[in-house]
Structure 1
Amino acid sequence: MAGIYIHIPFCKQACHYCDFHFSTNQQRKTDMVRAIARELELQQPYLTEQIITSIYFGGGTPSLLDEAELQMLLNTVYKLYPISSDPEITLEANPDDLSPEKLKILKQLGFNRLSIGIQSFHEPHLRYLNRVHSAKEAEQCVQQAQEAGFNNLSIDLIYAVPHPDHSVWQADLANVVALNPEHISAYCLTIEEKTVFGQWLRHQKIPPIDETFAAEQFGQLVDTLTANGYEQYEVSSFCQPSWESKHNSNYWKDVRYLGVGPGAHSFNGNSRQYNVANNGKYLRALAKDQVPYEQEELNKADRINEYLMTGLRTKWGCDLAWLKQKLDYDLLATQGSYIEHLIHEKKATLENQQLVLTRAGKLLADGITAALFVGSE
């Protein structure tokens, strides 16, 4: 099995925290869709003999595409690639794009999952983050999607937004639970260097992220969603029983995927490809039937580190027997004392060769993973 990721590099405006590749100039949107369709043709051999189980439209803001543009890309995928009988077809969407008419079109086109970038239900926080939609639209679009027949909805939230107390975050959690989506992704606000927030931080216009404040909100997140029937199956991902994201789970389970569009990444088991993150360069290359990417061959250490980095963020953890069998690496032999320390500190468990981080460990997942990394061999 494998997945296809389609990156749509356009947004109405720039969110202050976002460092993904996008442009607010949509003049060449249709040209871009045609170029991506052409890349899907040129990249067809990349996933040889793989059945596609997930198709994910990300960005940017793919909900900006009109019916004809979405239809073109879906038709191209179905024409060129073997698709499973029940694929997960996801569209990332902003609330202000999800009118009842647009929802009806998406349903007719075959989308069966929406990932809605709400981030907050609090108007001042939305303005601080520079989101386009209003708090009213945030709630209304979910209800309208449910009425339109979408029974696999994911809502994105952001925590650790500066505030004197936790009242706004607690209200956001109450609101999302009341809407009862099948899936919730919650991300800690980070300040990236090349964003508006990064610039403001350099000029001391905003405070740095308060790590204690963020940790407290992470705890409230886990407590609230767990108490309401959601399972934390990855550090930032929560779902009702059996509603894990197939596409994201494939990333974490070392499954192959093809990424198309400027800035998209691909993985075929042995190497990674990185498309150029520049709309103009991408369009010029595809006009010549060339895919503008850089390729990185993965050595043994790379494969081990990627498996640790992705696996330890999930409820499944890392299979140490698989590591030894497939990658010829004995983690217990090299990191046994550190793993014992993690278990003693109740930051990890080890049962049946499965190393799994506890709730306390997940809060420190990045640091723990880095400590377990191996150097190039």
Structure 2
Amino acid sequence: MAGIYIHIPFCKQACYYCDFHFSTSLKKKGDLLSALKLELQLRKGELENQTIETIYFGGGTPSLLSNNEIQGLISEVYKNYQVAKNPEITLEANPDDLTKTKILELAKSPVSRLSIGIQSFFEEDLKQMNRAHTSQEAKACLEQATSYFDNITIDLIYGIPNMSIEKWDANLQTAFQYGVNHISSYALTVEPKTALETFIKKGQYPPIDDTLAQQHFNYLVSETQKHGFVHYEISNFGKPNYFSKHNTSYWQGKPYLGIGPSAHSFIGKTRSWNIANNSKYIKRIQDEILPSTSEELTNKDGYNEYVMTGLRTIWGVSLNKVEADFGVNFKTYLLTEAQKFIDKKLLEIDDSKATSITLKTTLKGQFLADGIAAELFMI
């Protein structure tokens, strides 16, 4: 089984915290869509013996595309790849694009899952982040979308400076009220060369408070559990049978093809990424030249990636898999380096299943998973 990610590099406006590749000009949209279809054709041999179980439209803002444009890309996948009977097809969408008409069109299309970028239900937060939608649009789109889609995930941001626990709770309770079955929630971070970084340096925006972010995270974990969500990955909370199949395939090391400018692919031990420039991407694809750079992962690279992704999930890091895939020396190294975190009750060994002994983060260690993983890397 494999997945296909399609990057739609267009947005109405730039969110202050975002460092993804996108353009606010739609002038090249037609050429870009043609290039996406051609890239799908050019690369069909890379997944020749694989069945596509997930298609994911990310961005950027894929909901800027018309229903016909979205269906045209889906059809191109079906023409060139072997697709599972009921694939998970996800469309990232902004609330201001999800009018009743748009939702009705999508409900009749092959799209089976919506990923809606809410971020906050408070107007002042949305303005501070330079989001294109309003609080009212966020609520209105959920009112409509939940009537036609069962499989919906929303994004929420925590760790916003000066956000009280009461305000964070109000965001969560609003999400629960609409009955969404999946929540992806991320701490506000300061990425290089973003407007947010500039504002903080100039004293125009308060610095990020890691202690506040951890308080919000702990509350998020507690509240989602009360409402029947499973915390299956550090930033992802889903009710049973509503985990993201596409994102889970990333964490479990399944192959995926990334289509579009800046998109990443992983097949076998090869990782590749496309050029992050719309004009250059279009030109090279038109010339039938793949605009990508690739690298072969070494044993050490593979081990480090597995530890990083494994510790972020409920499945943890299988010691059996580490030994089988990378060698007994890697397993010995992992256990030796992990002991200090086990002593601090940040990691634990789960031997409840005789067939698979795993290393996992504890509740106390979850928020620190990425930092802990980095300490376990083979340098």
SS of the counterpart of 2:131? coil
Verify the 8 A CA contact 1:332 1:339 in the aligned structure 2.
no
Partner of 2:361: 357
- Aligned partners of 2:328 and 2:221: how far apart in 1? 33
**Of 286-295 and 322-331, the range deviating more from structure 2:** 322-331
What is the correspondence of 1:107-256 to structure 2 with a 5 Å cutoff?
A: 107-147=107-147, 149-163=148-162, 165-256=164-255
Verify the 8 A CA contact 2:323 2:331 in the aligned structure 1.
no
Displacement, 1:329?
4.3
- Aligned partners of 1:192 and 1:108: how far apart in 2? 38
**Of 123-132 and 335-344, the range deviating more from structure 2:** 335-344
CA offsets 1:248-302 (integer angstroms, 9 cap, x no match): 0000000000000000000002111110000011011111111200011111111
- Aligned partners of 1:31 and 1:94: how far apart in 2? 23
Partner of 2:301: 302
Partner of 2:354: none
Partner of 1:267: 266
Cα 1:136–1:340 shift into 2, 3 Å: same
1:346 aligns with 2:345: yes
SS of the counterpart of 2:365? helix
Kindly provide the amino acid, as one letter, of the partner of residue 257 in structure 1: Y
Verify the 8 A CA contact 1:30 1:69 in the aligned structure 2.
no
Partner of 1:50: 50
**Of 319-328 and 199-208, the range deviating more from structure 2:** 199-208
CA offsets 1:23-73 (integer angstroms, 9 cap, x no match): 000111121111100000001111120110100000000000012211210
Displacement, 1:166?
2.4
Displacement, 1:340?
2.7
Partner of 1:80: 80
- Aligned partners of 2:315 and 2:361: how far apart in 1? 9
TM-score normalized by structure 2? Answer: 0.96
- Aligned partners of 1:214 and 1:351: how far apart in 2? 28
CA offsets 1:53-100 (integer angstroms, 9 cap, x no match): 100000000000012211210110011000111110000000010111
SS of the counterpart of 2:116? strand
CA offsets 1:95-129 (integer angstroms, 9 cap, x no match): 01011111121122210100000000000000001
Kindly provide the amino acid, as one letter, of the partner of residue 356 in structure 1: K
TM-score normalized by structure 1? Answer: 0.97
1:95 aligns with 2:95: yes
Verify the 8 A CA contact 1:323 1:330 in the aligned structure 2.
no
- Aligned partners of 2:68 and 2:20: how far apart in 1? 25
- Aligned partners of 2:284 and 2:2: how far apart in 1? 26
Percent of pairs with identical residues: 46
SS of the counterpart of 2:258? strand
Verify the 8 A CA contact 1:320 1:331 in the aligned structure 2.
no
Partner of 1:35: 35
Displacement, 1:351?
2.1
What is the correspondence of 1:306-345 to structure 2 with a 5 Å cutoff?
A: 306-345=305-344
Displacement, 1:335?
3.4
How well do the aligned residues superpose, as a CA RMSD in angstroms? 1.1
**Of 173-182 and 55-64, the range deviating more from structure 2:** 173-182
Kindly provide the amino acid, as one letter, of the partner of residue 374 in structure 2: A
Structure 1 unaligned spans of 5+: none
Kindly provide the amino acid, as one letter, of the partner of residue 14 in structure 1: A
- Aligned partners of 1:246 and 1:372: how far apart in 2? 27
Kindly provide the amino acid, as one letter, of the partner of residue 116 in structure 1: I
SS of the counterpart of 2:220? helix
SS of the counterpart of 1:88? strand
- Aligned partners of 2:100 and 2:244: how far apart in 1? 24
Kindly provide the amino acid, as one letter, of the partner of residue 111 in structure 1: V
SS of the counterpart of 1:212? helix
